[in-house]
Amino acid sequence: MKSHTLDSPIFESSDFSPGALFVVEQLQQRGFDAYVVGGAVRDLLIGKHPKDFDVATNATPEQIKQSFRNARIIGRRFQIVHVRVGREIIEVTTFRRGHEEERSEQDARASQSGRLLRDNVYGSLEEDAKRRDLTINALYYDTSSHQLIDQLGGQADVLGRVIRVIGEPAARYREDPVRMLRVVRFAARLQFDLESDTESAIASVRTLLRDIPPARLFDEWLKLFMNGFSAPTFKLLRRHELLDPLMGEAVSCVREGEPALDLQQLALANTDRRVAEGRPVTPAFLLAALYWPAVEASAEQLTVTGESPIQAIHSAGLQVVQQACQHLAIPKRFSLAMRDIWDLQPRLERMQPKKIKDHLAHRWFRASFDLRLLREQTDESGNNCSGFWIDQQKRYPELVGSARARREGRGEGRPRRQRRNRDS
Ligand code: ATP
Ligand code: MG
């Protein structure tokens, strides 16, 4: 095994969770190789506490399952084993090899028959390391002998703060275009630089992201935007022109210097702040803010053709959600919320006395009011109604967002008109 040139860091056993230590030890006692792998080792090297621990081994899923009392094989395409140790769940995977090593005729046939077989081709640690995405994610730590196994220079890259794709970047992106998003996610989160080929290859293959199923892109979107680093991530996505395949032109068309970009960036910064403070965040608000400039622009066109502002926002919202869903499979509970948040915008502007309580009670009043605030902070035009709504919230604090509770209490529905025609 190639040894690395830098000194191995010897982590303390206490750096690892009891579950991770137990799983490695148990597998090793049965004669298998087992290592803590991936994000946990990377995070420990940086000095961060890992959020979870994954283990890689040469035991097959069946053998892993037999080694523990409480273990479950999950996944069809690629089997992994969840081992429960106390309250912890440790994800254990068998060493696999990637596509490069799979060129024998038999394997090629297997691949043609679909992905199911392809991803379950087991391999050695060396092969397992090479099929991973980034050098910094291909580090293995033996918690018994306290050895770091670093075949691909991952430790040097962690220390040098570099994101480097393993192998030839363009080829690895072609194999799985989502890796481009992962590169950006780790760069933003860790504040690492992109190695030059890792960076330059993106331009030649970024359009391949359009072939990724919207459901997978939405999963990835959540990891990109809901983890507390959405502002730097957004910036990098823009810089590498990855925003367009991810979220569509509706979000990516906003230009530098436009108030719409300030609004998007403020919404991202607010979301990150909330995550840092441990407060709840909803994808609905952030999506509503990021797509707002598109809704506003399209509503403006509709008002020219004679629609009322309220009707125009409603139609534009529907249109924008439909466009967005061609890229991201936004679950209905979020897309309905986005449209509610938008629908309230012109209503808040009207400040109609007899609607005050209804609007305050609306489930998405707070989010809609927050969007209103962002709009006023970033664009001077338009009326300034946020002061009015701050006063109303002080006047009726118990009403804010109470619609659902009220409805359940009194067995009533929301005004019917708003609920009809929800076709997306
Ligand atoms: P996080 O702290 O965000 O969980 P992580 O490195 O554990 O970071 P995961 O998304 O949990 O990232 O993936 C686990 C490991 O699986 C990664 O470290 C990487 O080695 C590998 N991996 C995940 N996705 C891919 C991919 N698309 N291509 C190649 N390897 C991947
Ligand atoms: Mg992980």
Q: Which of 8-12, 58-62, 296-300, 357-361 is the least confident region?
A: 8-12
CA neighbor of 330 nearest in space, from 246, 264, 249: 246
Asked if residue 105 has pLDDT above 50, the reply is: no
Structure-block tokens of residue 172:
């690895």
Q: What is the pLDDT of residue 408?
A: 45
Q: What is the pLDDT of residue 419?
A: 39
Beta partners for residue 34, in sequence order? 57
Q: What is the pLDDT of residue 402?
A: 82
Say which CATH architecture domain 215-409 belongs to.
Orthogonal Bundle (1.10)
Which residues form ligand 1's pocket by a CB distance below 6 Å?
Answer: 38-39, 132-133, 137, 176, 178-179, 182
Whole-number Å distance, alpha carbon 230 to ligand 1 midpoint, is 18
Beta partners for residue 134, in sequence order? 165
Q: What is the pLDDT of residue 410?
A: 43
Buried/exposed 291-319: b ≥16 CB within 10 Å, e otherwise = bbbbbbebbeebeeeebebbebbbebbbb
Q: What is the pLDDT of residue 76?
A: 76
Asked if residue 106 has pLDDT above 80, the reply is: no
- Collapsing DSSP states into helix, strand and coil, what is residue 91? strand
**H or E element in which residue 407 lies:** helix 403-410
> Do the beta carbons of residue 328 and residue 218 sit within 8 Å?
yes
Q: Which of 5-19, 136-150, 206-220, 344-358 is the least confident region?
A: 5-19
Q: Which ligand sits nearest to residue 190's alpha carbon?
A: 1
List every span in the chain annotated with CATH 3.30.460.10. 3-168
Going by pLDDT thresholds of 50, 70 and 90, the confidence category of residue 330 is very high
- The helix, strand and coil proportions of the chain, stated in percent and rounded to the nearest 5, come to 60, 10, 30
Q: What is the mean pLDDT of residues 345-357?
A: 90
Whole-number Å distance, alpha carbon 54 to ligand 2 midpoint, is 7
Specify whether 52 is catalytic.
yes
Q: What is the mean pLDDT of residues 341-369?
A: 91
| Ligand 1 atom at minimal distance to the Cα of residue 98 | 29
Which residue has a Cα nearest atom 28 of ligand 1?
133
Q: What is the pLDDT of residue 95?
A: 96
Which residue has a Cα nearest atom 5 of ligand 1?
39
Q: What are phi and psi of 245, to 5 degrees?
A: -65, -25
Whole-number Å distance, alpha carbon 38 to ligand 1 midpoint, is 7
| Ligand 1 atom at minimal distance to the Cα of residue 227 | 3
Q: How crowded is residue 256: how many other Cβ atoms within 10 Å of its Cβ?
A: 6
List every span in the chain annotated with CATH 1.10.3090.10. 215-409
Whole-number Å distance, alpha carbon 56 to ligand 1 midpoint, is 12
Asked if residue 392 has pLDDT above 90, the reply is: no
Q: What is the pLDDT of residue 398?
A: 87
Does the CA dihedral 91-329-114-127 come out positive or negative? negative
The average confidence (pLDDT) of the chain is: 88
| Ligand 1 atom at minimal distance to the Cα of residue 185 | 3
Q: Which of 43-47, 244-248, 382-386 is the least confident region?
A: 382-386
- Collapsing DSSP states into helix, strand and coil, what is residue 81? strand
CA neighbor of 309 nearest in space, from 416, 383, 362: 383
CA 331 to mean position of chain CA atoms: 14
Out of 48, 96, 132, give the residue to mutate to test ligand 1, the one with the largest number of ligand atoms within 8 Å of its CB: 132
% of the chain beyond a pLDDT of 90: 74
List, as own/partner pairs, every contact residues 264-269 make where C-beta atoms lie below 8 angstroms and the sequence separation is at least 24, other chains included: 264/234, 264/289, 264/290, 264/293, 265/231, 265/234, 266/374, 266/377, 266/378, 267/371, 267/374, 268/225, 268/230, 268/231, 268/234, 269/231
| Ligand 1 atom at minimal distance to the Cα of residue 50 | 2
CA angle 30, 41, 229 (to 5 degrees): 140
Give the contacts of 110 (CB within 8 A, at least 6 positions apart): 117, 118, 121
Q: What is the mean pLDDT of residues 351-367?
A: 89
| Residue in 43, 54, 244, 272 annotated catalytic | 54
Q: What is the pLDDT of residue 117?
A: 43
Q: Please tell me the CATH code under which domain 3-168 is placed.
A: 3.30.460.10
Q: Which ligand sits nearest to residue 37's alpha carbon?
A: 1
| Residue in 133, 272, 340, 370 annotated catalytic | 133
Whole-number Å distance, alpha carbon 79 to ligand 2 midpoint, is 16
pLDDT, tens digit (0-9, with 9 covering 90-100), for 32-44: 999 999 999 999 9
Asked if residue 201 has pLDDT above 90, the reply is: yes
Going by pLDDT thresholds of 50, 70 and 90, the confidence category of residue 24 is very high
Q: What is the pLDDT of residue 346?
A: 94
Q: What is the pLDDT of residue 115?
A: 30
d(C-alpha 117, C-alpha 374), whole Å: 49
Q: What is the mean pLDDT of residues 348-355?
A: 89
Q: What is the pLDDT of residue 100?
A: 52
Specify whether 133 is catalytic.
yes
Whole-number Å distance, alpha carbon 97 to ligand 1 midpoint, is 15
Which residue has a Cα nearest atom 7 of ligand 1?
39
| Residue in 52, 107, 176, 193 annotated catalytic | 52
d(C-alpha 329, C-alpha 267), whole Å: 21
Asked if residue 138 has pLDDT above 90, the reply is: yes
| Ligand 1 atom at minimal distance to the Cα of residue 189 | 3
